[in-house]
Chain A
Amino acid sequence: MESNAAVLTGEHFITGNEACAEGALAAGCRFFAGYPITPSTEVAEHLSKRLPQVGGTFIQMEDELASMNAILGASWAGMKTMTATSGPGFSLMMENLGLGVMLETPCVLVNIQRGGPSTGLPTLVGQGDMMQARWGSHGPYEIIALSPSSPQEIFDFTIKAFNLSEQFRVPTLVMSDEVVGHMTEKVTVPAPEDIKLTYRKTPKVPPEEYLPYEADEDLVPAMALAGQGYGMHVTGLTHDRKGYPVISEEAQIELVERLVYKIRKNRDKIIEYREEECEGADVIVCAYGISARTCLLPIGMAREEGIKVGLLKLIVVWPFPEEHIDQLAEGVKGFVVPEINYGQISLEVERCAHGKAKVIHVPHAGGGIHDPTKVLEAIRRAAK
């Protein structure tokens, strides 16, 4: 694949990590700052080779904190930026993920999840960072996170993540996992003209009239870049529309409400899922990431037993499709949520079902994918 083209149109047989890197390039990413961590290292390694070929910049920083900040800085200079990590590095990036949210900086953070907690299982799968993706940084905020289940999806969803990030000026997460990252499958890369890309809103007024945090109807402000002569000041402190820090309740309410509703108000443009045979189903399996594939076998077996099972595959995990779960809960007997953790997204499903349907969580500590018989048993229990 020696080429200086950013978009390698055609069919490839590549790993998820490589597909993620190619997806970033196809999305227009030209800056990557990262730190090696299994099982995400291949994303960095692949980009270290490819970014110079397309005129981009790769730098391996001294740690994950530096990586997160470098991608924020590079975004403020106008580039589309990305970093990739796994559990321990994800934790390190949290404070500065908050800075990205507060400064409203577009960037993409890929987490190829592994067994945790702590150093855990560096080379084996986990899905235990899903709540951390939502709540990992301190303070009230909203975030966008996608969860791919295959190399093709990680390619597509990385492009989606860049687009959402630019559109809503918020750091966007790609919550993948080690199995998807390391599996090799066919990935079809479209022609560049078939890939729709978004770039952040640029200011329409001259510098004297520009307010860095004056938002439009969609609650997203236009973003000036360093070096364009706007002389703006941006800070992680609570600030007013000029960007100046203001330590007051009023400023906090005005700012933080907008940051939260920027995502909430635009949920219909962000939330995405795929449904299979959910119409009239008695049981719906709600899954994401690799678990959305490993549950296909038990679903098939359950259908053979006569149980009407549907699959709700989450593409965008955060913001969570609350209204949809609530709606589905009206008609089903139960939800089954297999995930490689001890109950994270299942808590959301339970919350949003509002007691109208039972929610059965199928846990897994990590290190492997679900045993199909356990998921099948859960489906049977849900159908009762």
Chain B
Amino acid sequence: MIERHPMDQLLREDRIPHIWCSGCGLGTSLTAFISAIQASGVPLDKISVVSGIGCTGRVAGYVKLDSFHTTHGRAIPFAVGLHLANPSLKVVVFSGDGDLIAIGGNHFIHSARRNLDLTIICVNNFNYGMTGGQGGPTTPIGAKTTTTPYGNFEFPFNIPHLAAASGATYVARWTALDARRLKKSIQEAFLKRGFSVVEIISPCPTLFGRFNRQGTGLDILNSYRENTVIQHGADPAKVAIEPDGKIIVGKFVDIERPTFLDLVNEGLKGKVEVSYEKPQPEEVTVPSADE
């Protein structure tokens, strides 16, 4: 008898076990994501997942939804195209720190600026995992990676700050340990109209964790337990992750701003003869997140 997990209906079970390492936080991030969209009530047919290249990018291959595994850094513009061509789709971009913030950085800030109705889940493991553990835009100062053998000489990005400053209307950060709050946060981000960003701090025990003597995936999760501080509403500019410092998590930004399509619809009224009301995503009532 094939044993099935309750979430298998949303997984491509013929590809499970997945390729991620033992102790990697991606599985947990995916679990939180799947339970969040299950609880959201949005019809599964209307959900599209777009990912880029990298360990996190493989998420698209494991969810049983319309999923698109695109090129490095270009998940967001692909998602923009999907969203604008069919605004009734709920499009989620699920990718890693290097993919979204380095090579994809330009698309990240511009789509946030436009407040396109997308949900971005950025899994931050502080390096480029898939290619062997190189330094990336979020690698802490002094950390060892395969391209920073003498220690990283660069300041990292503070992703919530970048997102908020670019115009995202929902910005949150959680660690892979805080799975329940992470799930609730993904659910909120998913249902919210506007550009929502959820950063997930995740262990990479095989590469970044090993190069920086962080121990096993479990040790890293335990360190999150010790070092995480929840500060809802904290100023995103002040939540940079300091080496050996506290990891500040929580929901930092949750504001209302007209989306790109709102502005287009509003702006075209009276100027074009064709009625420009594109179908809006169906109204979905948010069920209580505490099941």
A residues in contact (CB < 8 Å) with B: 4, 30-31, 33, 52-55, 57, 59, 61-63, 65-79, 81, 95-96, 99, 103, 225-237, 244-245
Tell me how far the C-beta of B157 lies from the nearest C-beta in chain A, rounded to whole angstroms: 18
Judge whether B276 is part of the interface by a CB distance below 8 angstroms.
yes
Q: Report the Cα distance A62→B114, complex, angstroms.
A: 11
Q: Report the Cα distance A228→B107, complex, angstroms.
A: 27
Interchain CB contact (< 8 A) of A96 among B71, B79, B274: B71
Q: Report the Cα distance A61→B68, complex, angstroms.
A: 20
- Which A-B residue pairs are the 9 nearest by beta carbons? A73-B81, A235-B69, A77-B85, A74-B85, A74-B81, A70-B81, A66-B77, A69-B77, A77-B86
Q: Report the Cα distance A62→B46, complex, angstroms.
A: 27
Would B68 and A234 count as touching, CB distance under 8 A? yes
Q: Report the Cα distance A70→B78, complex, angstroms.
A: 5
Contacts A72-B78, A227-B86 aside, 8 further interface pairs with beta carbons under 8 A come to A61-B110, A66-B76, A69-B77, A70-B80, A73-B50, A74-B85, A235-B69, A236-B69
Chain B residues with Cβ under 8 A from A59's Cβ?
80, 84
Q: Report the Cα distance A33→B85, complex, angstroms.
A: 11
Judge whether B230 is part of the interface by a CB distance below 8 angstroms.
no
Tell me how far the C-beta of A223 lies from the nearest C-beta in chain B, rounded to whole angstroms: 12
Chain A's closest residue to B15 (CB) is: A244
Count of residues in B whose CB is under 8 Å from the partner chain? 44
Could you say which of B58-66, B170-178, B193-201 contacts chain A?
B58-66
Tell me how far the C-beta of B42 lies from the nearest C-beta in chain A, rounded to whole angstroms: 12
Chain A's closest residue to B46 (CB) is: A227
Contact digits for B48-75, partner A, Cβ 8 Å, 1 yes 0 no? 1010000000001100111111110110
Chain A residues with Cβ under 8 A from B81's Cβ?
31, 33, 69-77, 81
Interface of A: prevailing SS: mixed
Judge whether B291 is part of the interface by a CB distance below 8 angstroms.
no
Judge whether B1 is part of the interface by a CB distance below 8 angstroms.
no
Chain A residues with Cβ under 8 A from B275's Cβ?
55
Q: Report the Cα distance A226→B46, complex, angstroms.
A: 8
Q: Report the Cα distance A227→B89, complex, angstroms.
A: 6
Would A236 and B71 count as touching, CB distance under 8 A? yes
Would B67 and A233 count as touching, CB distance under 8 A? yes
Q: Report the Cα distance A226→B68, complex, angstroms.
A: 10
23 A-B Cβ contacts within 8 A? A4-B273, A30-B85, A31-B84, A53-B272, A65-B73, A66-B107, A70-B77, A73-B50, A74-B82, A76-B68, A77-B83, A78-B86, A226-B48, A226-B68, A227-B46, A232-B66, A233-B12, A233-B67, A234-B68, A235-B68, A244-B15, A245-B61, A245-B69
Given contacts A228-B45, A232-B66, contact A62 B80 (CB under 8 A): no
Chain A residues with Cβ under 8 A from B65's Cβ?
231
Given contacts A55-B276, A70-B77, A71-B81, contact A226 B89 (CB under 8 A): yes
